[in-house]
Structure formats: C-alpha cells, structure tokens
C-alpha cells in the first residue's frame, strides 16, 4: 500500500460539473483530491480487505439474529421499544439490504482493523463507484498509473444487479433531507442505478412526505409510497414526529429496519463479545462495563448514533484527550481500543470497504490531517498495481 503523488487532470472540475458531482469541494476546501492516489497489490485487496469484509458481514448478521431476540440488547442499543417488533419482523422476513461501508484502519501490512460499520446511510458512494473509476480510465491513458492497473470496484454493477432483484412491479421512491448536496448527490446516483435496472422511480424530499387518512405515506403529488429508499438514519426516524406511523405504513424500506442494529456503534462491543480476539476486530465495550478497564492502551469513546466522527473523544494512554464537537451522546456511548489510523505523507488514512447485498464489492479511501475522519475529510482514488 503506497501513497503516490500524481498530477491532477486539468479538466476534472469541468467533468465533475458535467456529471453532477457538485460536492467535490466543501467549504472552499477540496473533498475530491487526485493530487495523490493509493496503490495496492491484488493480494492486499483480496486477502486483507475483501476476505475480512465478507467474514465480518457474516458475523454482523449473527449479531442481528441475537439482538432481535433479546430485549435487553435492543434496550442497550437505545432502540425505542415501540419499534422492537418492527425491526424483528423485518429480520425474520429476511428483507434484503442494499449497501453499506465498513471503515478499516489498514497500512498494507497488518490485519485491517474494523473501526465501524456504516450500514444504514453511508455516503462517499458516487465518488467510490463512478468518479474514481473514471479517474482510473483516464489515469491509464495519461500515464499516471500503469496501463494494466486495475481498481477494486464492482460497486455500480452490484448496485444495478441489486435493484434488478427488487420487485419489478414496484414503484420506488428515493428521499433525503433538503439542503445537503452530498446526500442529494448520493440519492441521485442510487436512483440512476435503479433506473438502469429497469425500475420506475421518483424523488421526494423527506420534508415533503405526507400521511394520508389511512396512515400511508405519500409523496408531494399525493401518490402513495409503496417502497422507499431513505438516506435518513433509522434512529432519527424512530424519534421523528411521524415515526409512530412507520411500522404500519405498509412501506417496503431500503435499508430494511433490521439495519438499525448494524448502524449502531453498539455493534462493535457486541461483535467483540461474540467473536473475542478476532484479528480484524478491536476490543470494544459499552460505556460503564467494568471489562472496559482492560483498555489500558487508550481508547476512543463513541456515541451510539455518531456519524462522520461527531462527538468522538480520543483518549491517549497518558490521559491526553482529543474531542470532536457534535449533536450526539445522550443515547449512550461505547469504548473502543485506541488503534491509530496509519499516516501517509502526514495524513491519516481510512479504508472504506463497500458491501452490496451482503457481498464485498469495492473500496474508497478518505484521509484527514486529524486522527478522526469527518465529513470534510478528503477522498482519494486508488489503483491495483501488481
């Protein structure tokens, strides 16, 4: 695994604009960054990323199967009781998932260590699935990478196949909150994949979804929503003023409700309980668990519902602390063993392994000058060389 400096394509911003990639710059700073790229060997991809992702995905499903049968665990995950059966029934029906992203600390040598699983509303999808593949094709032409370089990236093909497996007679709505360019771009990309799969689709802002007299959700044109992909976390749905209508609305959900177990940081201590010592896991405990005293080498304190590094607190062995502000924490915390991200050229690098319909399919890399990956962290492309 190497970080290699490389010249930018002169017209990449124009290409991004033409393709609808409008969030390539955030707050005046580059988000998409092709001034460097990462190189992996095929062995590193297959043995150190792809295989562990598949194994952890299977382990996660065992966690869900345990959690939906254990009210104490659902309570520990801060999932409201009125939704327990809703989640359990979606699991018992084996409602298929769409996608997720596991974030790993990996330096090209030791086992990749799972930081967390963004199983419900992961972004950085478009740039992983499409825009970095476009970069690779052009980088081969311009000599930025060898002509036989490849990329671990079957994300788009897998997404289209997943939508093809969806009920062909179903009209699928897509939704996200207004005013968020990255969320809107992610949903637009997924909707395009669904259309390529032959599905009829429409977009409705989350704020414009209504409820009819029969308790069914409807779009801005008063059409009943039968199936909905929502880029909106399940834990926020549960707290929303319309949340009480969700279990009986008759909607087919993407992601399915059982994903609420996996998108919760409480997944990490549950994985450690069930698979202690697994080489790709970090020791993790619920806050207040006496067993957490074993974390003598420092730890990271994460809220159960935290996203994009918000409210994460980093505690060094000598007691020094680094904290990120945000709106989370009232729901409870977990403690995870401190395992620092590798640094390449002074940047802290996290490897995102994409999963579609339960199968590992691709890679996205983000880096930051700080040890916590945030929504402003840069995205860099990658290539397989050797």
Q: What is the DSSP letter of 24?
A: S
Q: Kindly give, in sequence order, each residue whose CB lies less than 8 Å from that of residue 145, ignoring residues fewer than 6 positions away.
A: 6, 37, 39, 136, 139, 383, 385
Residue 99 three-state SS: strand
Q: In the prediction, which pLDDT does 168 show?
A: 67
pLDDT bracket for residue 329 (50, 70, 90): low
pLDDT bracket for residue 265 (50, 70, 90): very high
Separation CA 185–CA 126 (nearest Å) = 8
Q: Kindly give, in sequence order, each residue whose CB lies less than 8 Å from that of residue 273, ignoring residues fewer than 6 positions away.
A: none
CA distances from residue 28 to 31, 32, 137, 219, 351 in whole angstroms, order as listed: 9, 12, 27, 34, 24
Separation CA 258–CA 93 (nearest Å) = 10
Q: Write out pLDDT tens, residues 80-90.
A: 999 999 999 99
Token pair, residue 302, equals 């994460």
Q: Write out pLDDT tens, residues 87-123.
A: 999 999 999 999 999 999 999 998 999 999 999 999 9
Q: In the prediction, which pLDDT does 375 show?
A: 74
pLDDT bracket for residue 289 (50, 70, 90): very high
Q: Write out pLDDT tens, residues 38-93.
A: 999 999 999 999 999 999 999 999 999 999 999 999 999 999 999 999 999 999 99
Please name the residue that has the structure tokens 């505690």: 315
Give me the residues paired with residue 285 across strands: 335
């Amino acid at each position: 695994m190497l970080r290699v400096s490389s010249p930018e394509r002169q017209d990449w911003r124009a290409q991004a604009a033409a393709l609808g990639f409008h969030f390539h710059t955030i707050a005046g700073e580059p988000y998409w960054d092709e001034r460097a790229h990462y190189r992996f060997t095929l062995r590193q991809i297959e043995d150190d990323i792809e295989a562990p992702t598949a194994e952890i995905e299977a382990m996660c499903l065992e966690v869900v199967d345990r959690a939906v049968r254990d009210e104490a665990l659902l309570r520990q995950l801060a999932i409201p009781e009125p939704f327990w059966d809703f989640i359990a029934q979606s699991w018992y029906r084996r409602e298929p998932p769409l996608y997720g992203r596991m974030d790993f600390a990996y330096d090209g040598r030791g086992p990749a260590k799972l930081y967390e699983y963004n199983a419900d509303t992961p972004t950085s999808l478009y740039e992983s699935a499409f825009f970095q593949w476009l970069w690779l094709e052009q980088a081969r032409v311009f000599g930025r990478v060898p002509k036989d370089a490849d990329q671990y990236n079957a994300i788009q093909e897998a997404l289209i196949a997943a939508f093809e497996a969806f009920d062909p007679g179903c009209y699928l709505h897509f939704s996200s909150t207004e005013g968020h360019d990255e969320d809107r771009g992610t949903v637009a990309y997924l909707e395009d994949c669904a259309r390529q799969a032959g599905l009829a689709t429409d977009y409705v802002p989350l704020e414009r979804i209504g409820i009819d007299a029969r308790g069914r959700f409807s779009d801005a044109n008063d059409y009943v929503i039968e199936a909905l992909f929502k880029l909106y976390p399940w834990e926020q749905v549960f707290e929303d003023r319309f949340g009480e209508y969700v279990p009986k609305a008759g909607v087919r959900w993407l992601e399915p409700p059982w994903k609420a177990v996996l998108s919760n940081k409480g997944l990490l201590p549950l994985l450690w309980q069930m698979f202690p010592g697994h080489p790709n896991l970090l020791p993790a405990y619920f806050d207040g668990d006496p067993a957490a005293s074993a974390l003598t080498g420092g730890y990271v304190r994460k809220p159960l519902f935290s996203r994009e590094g918000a409210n994460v607190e980093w505690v060094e062995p000598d007691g020094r602390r680094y904290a990120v502000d945000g709106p989370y924490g009232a729901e409870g915390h977990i403690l995870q063993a401190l395992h620092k991200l590798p640094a390449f050229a002074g940047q802290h690098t996290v490897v995102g392994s994409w999963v579609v319909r339960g199968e590992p399919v691709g890679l996205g890399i983000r880096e930051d000058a700080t040890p916590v990956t945030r929504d402003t962290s840069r995205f860099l492309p990658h290539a397989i060389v050797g």
